[in-house]
Amino acid sequence: MSIFTIVLLVVAVVMIGITVALYFLGKRAEAKRAEQEEQIAAASQQVSMLIIDKKMMKLKDSGLPEQVIASTPWYAKRSKMPIVKAKVGPKVMTFICDNAIFADLPVKKEVKAMISGLYITSAKVAHGKVVKTEAKKKGFRAWLLRKNKELNNK
């Protein structure tokens, strides 16, 4: 056997090993996520709140309690998270929002939200209709697609 063939076999075996390891790690992470979702759903409660402001910001700049920031993993401290400032009753509080509903939360409107601790899991507008906003895709390919759509519509 040539050296090239041996190298290819070793690379193939390593790639298969990495694929199998990632498969089992993914299964474990999926099971953990399902368990966490059950716990969040069990502890959630419906609250009426007025959304004051919403931003994507780092945890250390968010105004969340120090205990929350200290308990987050190191890799999550540097990433930007959806933070919502809302008035719940007489108090102004800071919440972490679910990424799926962050774009649809209306600012300066009252919503009925399901919260679990400081985490907003879902929200519905209390009065009126929600205007869903489409997030603009970024990048050169998205720009080309938008320009193509504009030219075809004319």
- What's the CA gap between 10 and 5, in Å, rounded? 9
Residues 38, 72, 60, 68, CA torsion sign: positive
Buried b / exposed e over 84-115, threshold 16 CB at 10 Å, is bbbeeeeeebbbbbeeebbeebbeeebbebbb
**Residue 38 predicted with pLDDT over 80:** yes
pLDDT class for 141, splitting at 50, 70, 90? confident
Q: What local confidence, expressed as pLDDT, does residue 56 receive?
A: 93
Mean pLDDT for 84-105 is: 92
Strand-strand pairing, 91-97 and 110-116: unpaired
Q: What local confidence, expressed as pLDDT, does residue 76 receive?
A: 82
Closest CA to 102 of 47, 138, 51, 40: 51
Mean pLDDT for 7-31 is: 96
Mean pLDDT for 106-129 is: 87
Q: What local confidence, expressed as pLDDT, does residue 129 receive?
A: 64
Ordered by start, the domain boundaries in the chain are: 1-43, 44-125
pLDDT class for 93, splitting at 50, 70, 90? very high
pLDDT class for 3, splitting at 50, 70, 90? very high
- What's the CA gap between 88 and 128, in Å, rounded? 19
Percent of the chain predicted with pLDDT > 90:
49
Element (H, E) at 55: strand 45-58
Mean pLDDT for 65-87 is: 89
How high does pLDDT run on average in the chain? 88
Closest CA to 57 of 91, 94, 93, 92: 94
Q: What local confidence, expressed as pLDDT, does residue 133 receive?
A: 55
φ and ψ at residue 141, rounded to 5 degrees: -65, -40
The domain defined by 44-125 folds into: OB fold (Dihydrolipoamide Acetyltransferase, E2P) (2.40.50)
**Residue 63 predicted with pLDDT over 90:** no
**Residue 28 predicted with pLDDT over 90:** yes
